[in-house]
Amino acid sequence: MTSPKLPTPNFMLLYVDSPAASAEFYTGLTGRPPIENSPTFAMFALEGGLMLGLWSKHTVEPAPSAGGGGAELAFTVENAGAVDATHADWAGRGLKIQQAPVDLDFGRTFVALDPDGHRLRVFAPGGE
């Protein structure tokens, strides 16, 4: 008996306090409007095929036990200069920066937070 083919992960859900406020935040961050938007849920189609869902933490079933910061949404950029430029842009927009740009063993990176405390990591693999 053969095992069934595993599905490909292509959807990430973040539990948020206000889907409307989070949709506005991610529209500004990604430059894309949500493809679905309701009082309890918003969804974005991002480059590379990833779907990002923003679900009201007040209506998720079953109720989530984890809050923001327990995982990261990562954005790959082309080089270390792009990491620094994105950091400057996001800091200028008022995003809370949790980790300033730094060179780590996997490359140059920084971490910002969304309105619910979800970690947004920008990195360039291997640095420049």
The residue length of the chain stands at 128
Q: What is the pLDDT of residues 22-39, one digit of tens each?
A: 999 999 999 999 999 999
pLDDT at residue 110 greater than cutoff 80: yes
Q: Is residue 116 part of a domain?
A: yes
Whole-angstrom CA distances from 5 to 1, 2, 12, 22, 53 are 12, 9, 20, 34, 24
pLDDT for 9 equals 78
**In terms of residue numbers, what domain contains 110?**
68-128
Q: Is residue 5 part of a domain?
A: no
Give the whole-angstrom CA distance, residue 105 versus residue 21.
35
pLDDT for 25 equals 97
pLDDT for 127 equals 47
Pairing assessment for the beta strands 96-104 and 107-113 based on DSSP bridges: antiparallel
Residue type for 103, please? D
Give the whole-angstrom CA distance, residue 1 versus residue 121.
42
Strand, coil or helix: 24: helix
Q: What is the pLDDT of residues 49-75, one digit of tens each?
A: 999 999 999 999 888 877 777 778 999
Q: What is the pLDDT of residues 81-98, one digit of tens each?
A: 999 999 999 999 999 999
Q: Verify that 74 and 51 share a domain, yes or no.
A: no
Number of domains in the chain: 2
